[in-house]
Amino acid sequence: MRVLRNTHCTAGVNALHMLPSSSDTICNSFIITTQNGGLIVIDGGFRTETPYFLQSLKLISGENKPHVDAWFLSHPHDDHVSVFFDMIENRREEFDVGTVYFNFPSRQYLAAEDLSSAGTMDWFYRVLPLFADRARIASEGDVINLRCARFRVLHSQNCAVKVNRPNNASLVFRMELGGKSVMFTGDCGVESGKEILDRYSGSGLLKCDICQMAHHGQNGCDRDFYEAVSPEICLWPTPSWVWSNCDGRGNLKTLEVRDWIEEMGIKQNLVSKDGPVCIYL
């Protein structure tokens, strides 16, 4: 796999782009291109990232009005989904989307623990009529073929889980493209990570060439999950202050997770704080 830093690949190749935050905040933002002209997006970031994200989407696609074949929304947190909500509400003339995949819990379920994500659901319900004809629920076990990419959903929301509710509701899926495999985890928590291990250990579906580090690389799924994935490359959608473990409250666990990865012998860590990254697949 060839890695390009601080640049974008051209359209018409099998490639994965990880975009940084334009303001060094938390952000989960991926754009995928395929050799037969496909364009796929995962999350996007806070709405403040919309200008940078849309500019990047146009540069990568080579189109003034990009057509996104599919947009995956991992879970209802603003640092993941607000770019899409903002674009579909306010900038529909600048892009087009084929299908939007998601599986969000109810507002009531989220509000029992997290009023912020409940507020995100209010925004979701407001904009849903703008893309309802293209909306699809992605559930565990689904296999979604998009151009020459294949997505297999390994986890979707489980309302029996009563802790870390919005993060544990993350869609987790494996993408196969160009003979390579990528694990996308969203903000997968310890509990959902264990569910995935229980269901898929021994299936051959967990081992991947590339793994997106859950919850921006801290306080997400545990070491056993990463050992099962055993990637060659770790993608960290992580700003500088999370990477250095200094949120001012002492709540971050980035250094512990970095130690896991080092002890596992994984040498290639690509961190969004360092700028955009493109990986040829």
Distance CA 9, CA 3 (A): 10
Distance CA 137, CA 117 (A): 19
Q: Is the pLDDT of residue 95 over 80?
A: yes
- CB count within 10 Å of CB 124 equals 18
pLDDT tens-digit profile of 147-184?
A: 999 999 999 999 999 999 999 999 999 999 999 999 99
Distance CA 168, CA 257 (A): 18
Distance CA 267, CA 124 (A): 39
Q: What is the pTM of this model?
A: 0.97
Distance CA 115, CA 77 (A): 11
Distance CA 260, CA 227 (A): 9
- Phi, psi for 39 (deg, rounded to 5): -140, 120
State mean pLDDT over 30-56.
Answer: 97
- Phi, psi for 6 (deg, rounded to 5): 55, 35
| Structural domains of the chain sorted by starting position, each given as residue range(s) with its CATH number in brackets | 2-280 (3.60.15.10)
Distance CA 69, CA 100 (A): 9
pLDDT computed for residue 36 by the predictor: 95
Beta-carbon contacts of 254 under 8 Å, excluding residues fewer than 6 positions away, are: 217, 218, 238, 242, 243, 244, 245
Beta strands at 233-236 and 15-18: parallel, antiparallel or unpaired: unpaired
- Per-residue confidence band for 187, with pLDDT thresholds at 50, 70 and 90: very high
State mean pLDDT over 26-38.
Answer: 97
Six-digit token pair at 139?
A: 């559930």
Six-digit token pair at 53?
A: 């994200």
- Site of tokens 């979604």: 144
Nearest Cα residue to 69 out of 92, 94, 38? 38
Nearest Cα residue to 81 out of 16, 213, 171? 171
Evaluate whether 38 touches 146 at the Cβ level (below 8 Å): yes
Kindly list the distances between the CA atom of residue 42 and the CA atoms of 169, 184, 190, 229, in Å, as whole numbers in the listed order: 16, 9, 21, 20
Distance CA 92, CA 89 (A): 7
State mean pLDDT over 252-274.
Answer: 97
Q: Is the pLDDT of residue 133 over 90?
A: yes
pLDDT computed for residue 164 by the predictor: 96
- Phi, psi for 188 (deg, rounded to 5): -40, 125
- CB count within 10 Å of CB 136 equals 13
